[in-house]
Amino acid sequence: MTTKPIESLRSQRWFAADDFRAFGHRQRAQQMGLRREEFMGRPVVAILNTWSDLSPCHAHLRERGEAVKRGVLQAGGFPFELPAMSLGEVLVKPTTMIYRNFLAMEAEELLRSLPVDGAVLLGGCDKTTPGLVMGALSMDIPAIFVPAGPMLNDRYKGNRVGAGTHSRKYWDEYQAGNIDKAEWTRLEQRMTRAPGTCNTMGTASTMTNIVEAMGLSLPGAAAIPAMDSGNARMASASGARMVEMIREDLKPSQIVTKAAVMNGVAAYLALGGSTNAAIHLIAMAGRAGIPLTLDELDEMARKVPVLVNLFPSGDKLMEDFYYAGGLPALLKKIKTHLHLSAMTVTGKTLAENIADARCEDDEVIRDVANAVSTKGALAVLRGNLAPNGAVVKPSAFGAKFFKHRGRALVFDSNAQMHAAMRDPNIDADENTVLVLRNAGPVGAPGMPEWGNLPIPQKLLKQGVRDMVRLSDARMSGTHYGACVLHISPEAAIGGPLALVRTGDMIELDIEARKLHLDVAHEELKRRKAEWKPRDAQYERGYVRLYQQHVTQADRGCDLDFLEGNAKTPEPVIY
Ligand code: FES
């Protein structure tokens, strides 16, 4: 490995020259109480921190930022912390998905506009991971991802309960009258017992593990619980490693190759990860200039079984995954599906990183012969209702609905749908196909996690707990059920979903990968001629920009002008 000379580091453009501008840069650094030798002639490391007081999953990241600084200083670098948009999944409205691209832009431009040689990315709640990684890929200076880590396991009445998954489960019971108000209020204090990301295999853990599998985090980092002292040690080690990476000039473009992306895909599927990963993987790969299609994901999903026994596909939680050996142990079990020569942030190959990995609990990380599910964590459906694709999660999808034909009950908005669910006279039975539209990237906007439509209260009281639900929305990775998601193109831009009417018959066949609206082609043409787009909802601001430029789910929902790996020039310093 060659060592990059200090004088060729990016930060030296700001600090080293004997000119008027560099004088000002050094002067202002010293204004902050820094001695010249603290920042001169050293690798400069930015710590992009998504901590905020309103981001419970990242509540501990201020301390982790300090741990990173320790590591950077100990390795001879100069660290400084930059706050970046904090996207706490639950509190940010209308949906964090709108702001994933905002964070990606912010990360890229923070790194570009400041004297930075490398970046340590602190995130973990769902969109922060792909957002930070997308920005770092576009900037392409050395970068390492430090996951916030999952919250601790919790128990309720003797059972493991997981964030998200059990909220919906108990909500259904509350709606059905099986849980009283006092118990429901007690549940508010359970399931989220400590800072950290959701402890099920929801989107957060799916994404942090994918990013680790792609080679962008230290081995084993993603599984370490947020409140484990190992999480702070991992943060410090990441800071120290970043200084070495700068010296080695090891950039994301050398790590995130097609092979690394496919390692991320294999890990996602074996984890039984969130369907949201399909969008984020395509978007991250796109920033590296690597095409990744839904068909490639489907092809891998037919080969890679779900091995990780975590909610919502299984019955364990992230703390169990950590004790079992975390991602390195899983990767060892699926190594025939991996590109083991892929480079990683350690400066070693994936094969070298996992050579000593060992599974400590085969019930949590199963063997292939004892897989949690062989149905796959993802299936991509196509047909006249989703010409560009729709996704389902077979491993968390009610088996009796794998092949289904039912009458559509259509809702044009989330508010209309929720009102109908409370209607005691709703015209629906357990075979009805609930359809929600105008919930896609442009339509909602931001493609919120509305895809797990609630079951009508009338049917909950009859004991119904699952129904086929279709939408152009996403679904929380912590949820489960017979939900067909990400229908593309979405209704708001005139996709076929806009043409469905209540009473139409819809056919679903997961094995055959088919989603069909049983309406004659001529009739659909007639409906399309009558269809009119809704008025734009946003006249100004970032969301207006988002609506004008966001791509569809099959392309990763990035902003079209941010896709690809074309280089943006370095800022002029004068
Ligand atoms: Fe932050 Fe689930 S709400 S990870």
Over the stretch 301-312, which tens digit does the pLDDT of each residue have? 999 999 999 998
Ligand 1: atom nearest CA of 163 is 2
346 and 254 assigned to the same domain = yes
Contact 468, 459 (CB under 8 A): no
In this structure, which residue's CA is closest to atom 2 in ligand 1? Answer: 198
418 and 359 assigned to the same domain = no
Give the mean pLDDT of the chain.
96
Contact 433, 469 (CB under 8 A): yes
Ligand 1: atom nearest CA of 124 is 4
Q: What's the sign of the alpha-carbon dihedral 347, 349, 354, 355?
A: negative
Q: DSSP letter string over 350-368?
A: HHHHHTT---S-TTTB--G
254 and 392 assigned to the same domain = no
- Of all residues in the chain, the percent with pLDDT exceeding 70 is 100
Listed in sequence order, the residues at least 6 apart from 181 whose beta carbon sits closer than 8 Å to its beta carbon are none
225 and 167 assigned to the same domain = no
Select from 368, 401, 426 the last residue of a domain.
368
Task: Tell me the average pLDDT across 63-81.
Answer: 98
- What pTM, to 2 d.p., does this model score? 0.97
Select from 190, 210, 240 the last residue of a domain.
190
Q: In the prediction, which pLDDT does 1 show?
A: 63
How far is residue 345's CA from residue 119's CA, in Å, rounded to a whole number?
12
- Residue 255: pLDDT band by 50, 70, 90 thresholds? very high
Is 186 part of a structural domain of the chain? yes
Q: Write out the residue range of the structural domain in which residue 402 sits.
A: 379-534
Residue-wise pLDDT for 224-233, tens only, equals 999 999 999 9
- Give distance in angstroms: CA of 106 to centre of ligand 1: 21
Ligand 1: atom nearest CA of 90 is 3
Q: Is the pLDDT of residue 189 over 90?
A: no
How far is residue 321's CA from residue 508's CA, in Å, rounded to a whole number?
34
117 and 180 assigned to the same domain = no
CATH of the domain at 488: 3.50.30.80
What token pair was written down for 60? 């501990």
Q: In the prediction, which pLDDT does 166 show?
A: 86
How far is residue 257's CA from residue 265's CA, in Å, rounded to a whole number?
13
How far is residue 269's CA from residue 365's CA, in Å, rounded to a whole number?
13
Q: In the prediction, which pLDDT does 506 show?
A: 98
Task: Tell me the average pLDDT across 174-191.
Answer: 88
Smallest CA-to-CA distance from 49 within 30, 35, 36, 62 is with: 62
* SS3 letters across 378-392: CEEEEECCEEEEEEE
Q: Is the pLDDT of residue 138 over 90?
A: yes
Is 446 part of a structural domain of the chain? yes
- Give distance in angstroms: CA of 250 to centre of ligand 1: 31
| Amino acid residing at 35 | R
Is 1 part of a structural domain of the chain? no
φ, ψ for residue 26, nearest 5 deg: -65, -40
* β 159-161/505-509 pair status: unpaired
Q: In the prediction, which pLDDT does 324 show?
A: 98
Select from 312, 344, 368 the last residue of a domain.
368
Residue-wise pLDDT for 356-402, tens only, equals 999 999 999 999 999 999 999 999 999 999 999 999 999 988 889 99
- Give distance in angstroms: CA of 204 to centre of ligand 1: 6
- Give distance in angstroms: CA of 89 to centre of ligand 1: 5
Q: In the prediction, which pLDDT does 167 show?
A: 87
Dihedral Cα 252, 254, 259, 260, nearest 10 deg? -30
What token pair was written down for 403? 């092949």
Site to probe by mutation for ligand 1, drawn from 89, 91, 476 as the one with most ligand atoms within 8 Å of Cβ, is 89
With H, G, I as helix, E, B as strand and everything else as coil, classify residue 148. coil
- Give distance in angstroms: CA of 231 to centre of ligand 1: 17
Compute how many other C-beta atoms are within 10 angstroms of the C-beta atom of residue 355.
Answer: 12
Listed in sequence order, the residues at least 6 apart from 502 whose beta carbon sits closer than 8 Å to its beta carbon are 407, 408, 409, 410
- Give distance in angstroms: CA of 209 to centre of ligand 1: 14
121 and 179 assigned to the same domain = no
Ligand 1: atom nearest CA of 56 is 1
253 and 342 assigned to the same domain = yes
- Give distance in angstroms: CA of 171 to centre of ligand 1: 18
233 and 334 assigned to the same domain = yes
Ligand 1: atom nearest CA of 88 is 1
Number of H helices, E strands in the chain: 21, 14
Contact 403, 511 (CB under 8 A): yes
Contact 289, 327 (CB under 8 A): no
Pocket of ligand 1 (CB under 6 A): 57, 89-90, 125-126, 163, 197-198, 202, 204
Residue with tokens 């734009």, as numbered in its chain: 536
Is 355 part of a structural domain of the chain? yes
- Give distance in angstroms: CA of 196 to centre of ligand 1: 8
Residue-wise pLDDT for 9-48, tens only, equals 999 999 999 999 999 999 999 999 999 999 999 999 999 9
- Of all residues in the chain, the percent with pLDDT exceeding 90 is 90
Q: What angle do CA 340, 251, 296 make, to 5 degrees?
A: 45
In this structure, which residue's CA is closest to atom 1 in ligand 1? Answer: 125
Residue-wise pLDDT for 311-340, tens only, equals 988 999 999 999 999 999 999 999 999 999
Is 552 part of a structural domain of the chain? no
Residues, the chain, total? Answer: 574
142 and 233 assigned to the same domain = yes
**Number of structural domains in the chain:** 3
Task: Tell me the average pLDDT across 438-463.
Answer: 95
How far is residue 301's CA from residue 333's CA, in Å, rounded to a whole number?
16
Is 514 part of a structural domain of the chain? yes
Higher pLDDT, 240 or 159: 240
CATH of the domain at 208: 3.40.50.2300
Is 311 part of a structural domain of the chain? yes
232 and 340 assigned to the same domain = yes
Site to probe by mutation for ligand 1, drawn from 55, 57, 128, 201 as the one with most ligand atoms within 8 Å of Cβ, is 57
417 and 285 assigned to the same domain = no
Is 254 part of a structural domain of the chain? yes
Compute how many other C-beta atoms are within 10 angstroms of the C-beta atom of residue 514.
Answer: 16
466 and 425 assigned to the same domain = yes
Site to probe by mutation for ligand 1, drawn from 50, 99, 126, 209 as the one with most ligand atoms within 8 Å of Cβ, is 126
Task: Tell me the average pLDDT across 105-131.
Answer: 98
What would you report as the CA-atom Rg of the chain, rounded to the nearest whole angstrom?
A: 24
Lowest-confidence region among 96-110, 189-203, 284-298: 189-203
With H, G, I as helix, E, B as strand and everything else as coil, classify residue 64. helix
